[in-house]
Amino acid sequence: MTQTFDEPAASPALLLLGTRTDPMSERGVDCPGDLPAASDPGLVERARAAKEALGDRVFILGHHYQRDEVIQFADVTGDSFKLARDAANRPGAEFIVFCGVHFMAESADILTSDNQAVILPDMAAGCSMADMAGINQVEDAWAQLEEAGVASRTVPVTYMNSTAAIKAFCGRHEGAVCTSSNAEVALRWAFDTVGGVAGDGKVLFMPDQHLGRNTAVLGLGLGLDDCIVWDPRKPLGGNTPEAIAAARMILWKGHCSVHGRFRKDNVDTLREQVPGINIIVHPECTHEVVTSADFVGSTEYIIAAIDAAEPGTAWGIGTELNLVRRLADAHPDKQVHFLEDTVCFCSTMNRIDLPHLVWVLESLVAGTVPNRIVVDAVTQEQARIALDRMLALPAQQPEKD
Ligand code: 13P
Ligand code: SF4
């Protein structure tokens, strides 16, 4: 007897990710087109054929946290800093297919010309960290800092992992964007504009409190007590006026739900299990995890460190699992361990899969442009100021242990 399977009705609790609209999120709506079935054995061939038919008209960017099935079709791979540069350096490509998350595609749209279309294969590929800072919350926080008399001595710096509206806010208020590859030089630049690290100026760092704290303390030599956390749900961010007056770093209360999962006891356990292991983590991890690791740096830094490592060495890596798995596969002569004890991908990065990529590429071949990311002209202009400030910064020296 043939068995049939009826798709259950979607639970309202599950609608937030990828279906209809979600006003609380930077991610979008589900795909309007007919996605090929994930089980279709011809998907790889279909993607290859569509990409070949498009030729130089299409340029595919792949963030390091993307699935293998997608990365194999990327013309370039990179962390968010490298991909922003790569997108800006491809003026000839009519279509930029961004295999990453929404805020990255927005940045690519800002950095490319208006006649280039930036496409995100699944509009539901957002970022929970970016969602932790809404533009209204940031405007409200700034108004409170103005009221407290400190805004004129405060420079807003936003991590790339934020909406275009927040990048535009930084552009309007003499601030900049940074990524995990250049957060230290960006913070130094920001402090220099208000009297230097040794002065009394402040930085409002959004939305990742961990990257802000780790960079300020380990990179700039500020103290933990120079940092306060701004909780947008509380008056004055949950701080006293005195604490705000004394603070040097005002850290937005946001975090990455992937890197936030690593704990110090993961580090301790791996050290016990594998004597001599090197622990290397991304600066989105908590300060406790970063200070118990041997090395800290962006995804590009982590890749370079494992590439350069001696055969036979052991590594515990605290970053997204797709990347760690690829590093393990690429280095069979080294021991590569995932730092966490449960297995967790970035669920939104993982939204981009081969069916979505095939759908996008075949739509382009057929003459329609699906899932175009368009940032409005005013936001583009202001966000570009903050992005250009970042791109003009001197290169950051590789992290130290
Ligand atoms: P980088 O790409 O800057 O290393 O950031 C990691 C990340 O979480 C991207 O979403
Ligand atoms: Fe956002 Fe973290 Fe996923 Fe990056 S890894 S997209 S910061 S949730």
**Tens digits of residue pLDDT in 164-215:** 999 999 999 999 999 999 999 999 999 999 999 998 999 999 999 999 999 9
For the residues of 23-92, what is the DSSP string, one character each? TTSS-----SS-PPPTT-TTHHHHHHHHHHHHGGGEEEEEETTS-HHHHTT-SEEE-HHHHHHHHHT-TT
Give the residues surrounding ligand 2 with Cβ less than 6 Å away: 65, 101, 127-129, 161, 256-258, 320, 346, 348-349
Report whether 60 contacts 51 (CB < 8 A): yes
**Angle (CA) 377 80 345, round 5°:** 120
SS3 179: coil
Pocket test for ligand 2, best of 131, 258, 282, 302 (most atoms within 8 A of CB): 258
Q: Is 371 left (phi over 0), alpha (psi -120 to 50) or beta?
A: left
Considering every ligand atom shown, identify the ligand nearest to the alpha carbon of residue 27 and give its number: 2
| Residue 359: φ, ψ to 5° | -60, -45
Q: And the tokens for 23?
A: 């006003």
**What distance in angstroms lies between residue 121's CA and the mean position of ligand 2's atoms?**
17
Q: And the tokens for 329?
A: 């596969």
The pLDDT of residue 35: 87
Q: And the tokens for 59?
A: 């340029």
Q: Is 25 left (phi over 0), alpha (psi -120 to 50) or beta?
A: beta
Pocket test for ligand 1, best of 85, 101, 160 (most atoms within 8 A of CB): 160
The atom of ligand 2 lying closest to the CA of 126 is 6
Beta carbon of 66 within 6 Å of any ligand 1 atom: no
The pLDDT of residue 367: 97
**14 vs 174: CA distance, rounded Å:** 40
Inter-CA distances, 319 with 65, 123, 195, 342, Å: 9, 24, 35, 13
**What distance in angstroms lies between residue 368's CA and the mean position of ligand 1's atoms?**
30
As annotated, the binding site includes 63, 80, 127, 159-161, 180, 256, 282-284, 299, 346
The atom of ligand 1 lying closest to the CA of 81 is 3
Considering every ligand atom shown, identify the ligand nearest to the alpha carbon of residue 259 and give its number: 2
Give all domains of the chain, ordered by start, each with its CATH number. 23-126+348-374 (3.40.50.10800), 130-254 (3.40.50.10800), 259-338 (3.40.50.10800)
**What distance in angstroms lies between residue 279's CA and the mean position of ligand 1's atoms?**
18
**What distance in angstroms lies between residue 101's CA and the mean position of ligand 2's atoms?**
8
Amino acid found at 185 = V
Report whether 215 contacts 187 (CB < 8 A): yes
The pLDDT of residue 343: 64
Q: And the tokens for 25?
A: 């999120």
**Tens digits of residue pLDDT in 140-175:** 999 999 999 999 999 999 999 999 999 999 999 999
Beta carbon of 79 within 6 Å of any ligand 1 atom: yes
Report whether 361 contacts 54 (CB < 8 A): yes
Q: How far is CA 150 from the centre of its chain?
A: 29
Q: And the tokens for 15?
A: 């609608």
**283 vs 322: CA distance, rounded Å:** 18
Beta carbon of 80 within 6 Å of any ligand 1 atom: yes
SS3 315: strand
Inter-CA distances, 58 with 35, 50, 276, 360, 381, Å: 20, 10, 46, 11, 25
The pLDDT of residue 113: 93
As annotated, the binding site for iminosuccinate includes 63, 80, 159-161, 180, 282-284, 299
**What distance in angstroms lies between residue 302's CA and the mean position of ligand 1's atoms?**
11
Inter-CA distances, 167 with 26, 164, 250, 329, Å: 13, 5, 17, 37
pTM: 0.90
**What distance in angstroms lies between residue 278's CA and the mean position of ligand 2's atoms?**
24
Contacts 24+ apart (CB under 8 A), 263-269: 263/288, 263/289, 264/288, 264/289, 264/292, 266/316, 266/318, 266/339, 266/340, 266/341, 267/292, 267/293, 267/316, 267/318, 267/339, 268/292, 269/341
Q: What single-letter DSSP state applies at residue 131?
A: G
- Which residues of the chain carry a pLDDT beneath 70? 1-33, 343, 397-401
Pocket test for ligand 2, best of 26, 161, 299 (most atoms within 8 A of CB): 161
